[in-house]
Structure 1
């Protein structure tokens, strides 16, 4: 029934300045993730972006890799790719929920992430979602990251400082005020 549904897909954003993404993939089901990566690469190239690619052991390591890269490298956004197929144990639920939750928390902290980690019941469902002729979820994840980067750049243009500033130029430390030259005043 879902095959008959139509969805509105936003056109890819255009960028004035180059955009660089990191694709983080867990190739546990390599044939599936190779399709996801191909879709992501094509989507990034279509938007004129560049990318690096890293592999991690599993879906649970994807958010950690993104957090490390966010702290230590200069990427505009991230594409998370992997595949989790339900097995006989509850491990599936843990991997799906925790990887998704961690990516969401990174996103709420300002990371521009497209989540292309497939969470499916069967290999056949994964294949349909991964292939470029099918649902192309790798390309969709890249597009999501690109849209968030575009939004971040657009909103950042008129960046206003937020937060608290001292009401005066002097700073009070342990009961004594210091002026801007560092002289203590009583």
Structure 2
């Protein structure tokens, strides 16, 4: 069982400037969601960051809300939280695959997202993963987002001397500013 195995955890990300994170949660299973939110808030607070929280109807809406927030707001990163428990139909597979795919596509576009949408077989598995004193997957998702923000800040620094440098236009300097050389 995964809970009894030892896992390596990266050291907490550190920031010179505060980080602003949006937690997007699908609270279909309220008790699970509340535990995951608590874990995510704790991790963000411990890094010195700030957070906002929004709720969406279900796991399928989480990537849409993150995409909207990225276009319309100013967050450094995002934490996606929710829980999908296998039922009697194939809807479980659709929700798991499509919510994950949406989050992955946003991440490949450069968004810093920690995916904490649980995909489990039953409520016992969900509880074990959500509890802050247990596997704390909400805190883990926040830590993932924070690490990605740290990488984005590291790699996002302005570069100099890389790429095409246009030559000065001699006509602009010596001419009439319309590209005609002076006579």
**Partner SS for 1:135:** coil
Task: Confirm whether residue 10 of structure 1 aligns to residue 10 of structure 2.
Answer: yes
Change (3 A) 1:17 1:90: same
CA distance in 1, matches of 2:15, 2:95: 34
- Match of 1:132? 132
Q: Which has the higher strand share?
A: 1
- Match of 1:172? none
Deviation, 1:3, is 3.0
- Match of 1:52? 52
- Match of 1:144? 144
- Match of 2:172? none
Deviation, 1:159, is 3.5
- Match of 2:24? 24
- Match of 2:113? 113
**Partner SS for 1:59:** coil
Q: What TM-score comes out, normalization by structure 1 length?
A: 0.87
**Shift >3 Å, 4+ stretches:** 158-169
- Match of 2:92? 92
Runs (5+) with no aligned partner, structure 1: 170-178
Change (3 A) 1:158 1:98: same
Q: How many residues align?
A: 176
Deviations 1:14-57 (A, max 9, x none): 10001000000000001100000000000000000000000000
Are the aligned partners of 2:3 and 2:135 in contact in 1 as well (CA < 8 Å)? no
**Partner SS for 2:28:** helix
| Further displaced range: 42-51 or 150-159 | 150-159
Deviations 1:64-118 (A, max 9, x none): 0000000000000000000000000000000000000010000000000000000
What root-mean-square deviation, in Å, do the aligned CA atoms of Structure 1 and Structure 2 show? 2.2
Change (3 A) 1:15 1:89: same
Deviation, 1:162, is 7.6
CA distance in 2, matches of 1:161, 1:113: 31
**Partner SS for 2:30:** helix
Q: What TM-score comes out, normalization by structure 2 length?
A: 0.88
Runs (5+) with no aligned partner, structure 2: 170-174
Map residues 174-185 of structure 1 onto 2, 5 A cutoff.
183=178
